[in-house]
Structure 1
Amino acid sequence: MEDMLLYSSLSLLLLVIAFKLFIQARTKHKHLPPSSPSLPILGHLHLVKRPLHRYLHSLSQTYGQVFSLQFGSRLVVVVSSPSAVEECFTKNDVIFANRPRSLAGKYFGYNHTTVVSAPYGDHLRNLRRISALEILSSNRLNMFTSIRRDEVKHLLKHLLCKLSRNSSQDFAKVELKSLLSELTFNIIMRMVAGKRYYGYGEAVKGEKEARQFREIMKEIVAIARKPGPGQFVPMLRWIDYGGLEKRMMGLSKRMDEFMQGLIDEKRGKEGNTMIDHLLSLQRSQPEYYTD
């Protein structure tokens, strides 16, 4: 009887909280664009289907080119009208410049301090300025043209080898998705740290380090594809539903150790990578370019 009373009380409490949150959401956002019926706490999460863009397109056929959805505790406004999109990113760009706080931003974005996850403000504007001037300027990108050209050659050579192995046939079937992903990672990491971590048959220097990088990237992509309900329903995050937060904490530590190793390796050396350049800026302005 005591157990039954306890569970009944907890269930009643959850229902009261859910109803209160539902009423607050309805009254707080009275002037929202049209929306389909939703559930308390979950909102429209139970209705989401993959591929997401087709699901959103089907909703736009019913509710118009601007409509709202509730993903758990998060309000989402979907805009598919070109004129409305232009207005969002010109006249009202500052209003929409902020980013929602997420577990990924906390653990992979150093508590929302990176250019990808930082909230709009002085810190983000400073990061954008550094990126535009010191990392992604036309002059600096042109310095890495040879890297991009070399990696494309590696990919083409790999494709030709595959074709020659199937020379008895008129064509060879090749899965390009993974190859293009590896091409992108190799270009980025050669620009950032001067290293390539993916190989097309040939050996990669520092295989242990390369394997570590590949495993970290694979896990990050897997988590990004399935963010988990705890990202949208705070109540589930309290109990770490599915162990997502624990997994993120472990992966964050591994990622941090890996990147710190790259930086420590570059300290005191002269090179032509983005890490080298940022370290040179730190040496000239240590009070500005802190660790």
Structure 2
Amino acid sequence: MEWAMSLLLNHPEALKKVHDEIETHVGHQRLVIDSDLPQLRYLNNVIRETLRLFPPGPLLVPRESTMECSIGGFHVPRGTMLIVNAYKMHRDPALWTDPAEFKPERFESGEGEGYKYVPFGVGRRRCPGEAMAMKAVGLVLASLVQCFEWKRLGEEEVDLNEGEGLSMPKAIPLEVLCKPRQAMMDVLPQL
């Protein structure tokens, strides 16, 4: 959530696009609900792009090779521990166009399809909480954008440096200014 808000604050055109999409599909007479999320395609693209740039676990769960094999031309003996570096994969220019850039639109063209986008892992060992996580992040982020106006503290962009830790926290916690949107004042008590 913190990474998504940081990216949106550094890309006000994307923040406006998310808000406009919510206004179009939901309006301001009620709060976003889970059945609205499939229609909020750009919001979902923002979440996917945030997870591409800042995966919740940059290194996926290690796996042990059960048999001798070859992967990408590398010999892998039986019993070898293998770790997928999702962070590196998601920023690899051989896999992504402009990998360091925040471009939610890349998911509209299908650029994130296949095994190059793996914030939750892949296959039968994929994170079982993915659907719940995507729904929770979608509802909270949509509600924050729908109900409040967001601004950076100053003119400079929000710092996007990563801190230390397995879950990739921000080095400098996000501090922002927010105020309730006037159009949402009747609905805000429902939060």
- Regarding TM over 0.5, the answer is no
Higher helix share: 1
Structure with higher RCO (Cα < 8 A, 6+ apart)? 2
- Structure number, greater radius of gyration: 1
Compute the TM-score of the two structures, normalised by the length of structure 2: 0.31
- TM-score, normalising length from structure 1? 0.23
Structure with a larger share of its residues in strand: 2
